[in-house]
Amino acid sequence: MLSANDIKTIRSLREKKYRDSFGLFVVEGEKMVAEALASGLKVEQVIRRDEVGEKTMERLSGLSTPPPVMAVVRQPSDPAPGKPAGLCLALDSIRDPGNLGTILRIADWFGIDTVYASPDTVEVFNPKVIQASMGTIFRKRPVYCDLPSLCESFTSASLGVFGTFLEGDDIYSCELPSEALIVMGNESDGVSREVAARVTRRLTIPSFSKGTHAESLNVAVATAVTVSEFRRR
């Protein structure tokens, strides 16, 4: 049975300051709870609708339709940056939680070695990131770090730093290496000036539309196209 204080604590985990304070986050739905239980992370509590009742589940859930099960999970320690190697992503100030969750899912699908993120990128334990990732956060989480320094470490290791821009070399006609750092920029402003200065090659995904066309691609869609091109070469 959940106490009033338990309910208050779980509801508070919708906000970052309380997730940080308690070191906990919530996952909702049968698939996500199963992923959490299989992940090796410490699951503090599993709450089932048929045990606590519909009304309590509605109070606890952050979803429009409360799921049959949810879990409170202990946050793992932050992954540490490793040696520059493999095909990696760097996310420069990605603010939309749906985009971050989707990009992590894309990275998981395409076997991206490491996903790095600037410190101002949305927090990975945001409920919308978790839902959009469809369980990927239990296999792949971003390494939050200083991106200009990261770019320099890849360059020092003789690995290219590729950035996506509205103007650049056509990605479909470029030679793309199997090991590199791919930088994806902010939804509105693109790659920051400090990071752009350290990019060794600018890429663009050309539009095939004749006449007027969309101004740009959603960053998660652009990530999928970009990593797919790197992987297929």
Q: Where do the structural domains in the chain lie, given as residue ranges?
A: 4-74, 87-232
Cα distances (angstroms) measured from residue 171 to each of 154, 168, 200, 206: 20, 8, 14, 8
Q: What is the pLDDT of residue 128?
A: 95
Q: Is the pLDDT of residue 212 over 70?
A: no
125-147 mean pLDDT: 95
Residues 6 or more apart whose Cβ sits within 8 Å of residue 73: 24, 25, 26, 27, 36, 41, 42, 43, 44
Collapsing DSSP states into helix, strand and coil, what is residue 186? strand
CATH number of 87-232: 3.40.1280.10
CATH fold, domain 4-74, is 60s Ribosomal Protein L30; Chain: A; (3.30.1330)
As a whole number of angstroms, the distance between CA 83 and CA 154 comes to 9
As a whole number of angstroms, the distance between CA 90 and CA 125 comes to 18
Q: Is the pLDDT of residue 211 over 80?
A: no
**Widest Cα–Cα separation across the chain:** 62
Q: How confident is the model at residue 32 (pLDDT cuts 50, 70, 90)?
A: very high
Q: By the 8 A CB rule, do 70 and 36 touch?
A: no
Which residues are paired to 74 by β-bridges?
24
Q: Is the pLDDT of residue 63 over 70?
A: yes
What is the pLDDT of the chain when averaged over all its residues?
Answer: 94
